[in-house]
Copies of this chain bind each other. A is one copy, B any other.
């Protein structure tokens, strides 16, 4: 018994939780599966965490704290706005890439997979549409010499982010005009003083 300490068991439970939540989403994750992953009994989990929710929120909070710290670090010695923005975006995205499991922890509840293939097909089609438009713009010289695929991805993500933000009932919804304006003209000033 002494080969297990409270901290070690607690950590094991958190670790297993992360994996199970990431794979199954909150709803799909069940405590038996988590206990199994942590090599403890299901009752043991409740010795360390009050309930399933607390488990999830503990993980979520540590994730947010870490991303916060990372972002603060990245911005520390940057004054120039374009550079700052670049650092902000890059940090966020690279972090998400490195911690895919933490990203997945946020999603993929049971209903998520509902009609997933259909959704993916639909969205793929829409992305292609964007890409075609951008490719045409590049070919005609109206758009800059960018990678149409990458541009389409960014635009696609902007719209998708809008949808999710709406779902969350938040106020961070850009107007179509402002969105289009920024995507076409960019942030950097065009008229040189």
Contact = CB atoms under 8 A, between A and B. Distances in A.
Interface of A: 25-27, 53, 56-57, 60-61, 64, 68, 71, 75, 80-82, 84-86, 88-90, 92-94, 96-97, 100, 103-116, 118-120, 122-127, 129-130, 133-134, 136-137, 140-144, 146-147, 150-168, 170, 172-190, 193
B162 A115 contact: no
Contact of A188 (B86, B142, B165): B142
A10 B11 CA distance: 51
Contacts of A120: 168, 170
Contacts of A122: 64, 68
Nearest to A91: B176
The list of the 5 closest CB pairs from A to B, nearest first, reads A26-B111, A186-B186, A109-B111, A157-B161, A81-B137
6 contacts: A57-B115, A84-B136, A85-B183, A89-B159, A96-B162, A161-B164
Copies in the complex: 2
A155 B157 CA distance: 10
Contact of A189 (B26, B142, B152, B159): B142
Given A137-B81, A167-B112, A184 B188 contact: yes
A137 to B, nearest CB: 3
B187 A184 contact: yes
Contact of A137 (B85, B142, B162, B178): B85
B178 A146 contact: yes
Nearest to A186: B186
Given A75-B129, A84-B133, 11 more contacts: A60-B118, A85-B130, A85-B133, A109-B109, A116-B168, A123-B168, A144-B187, A144-B188, A152-B172, A161-B162, A184-B188
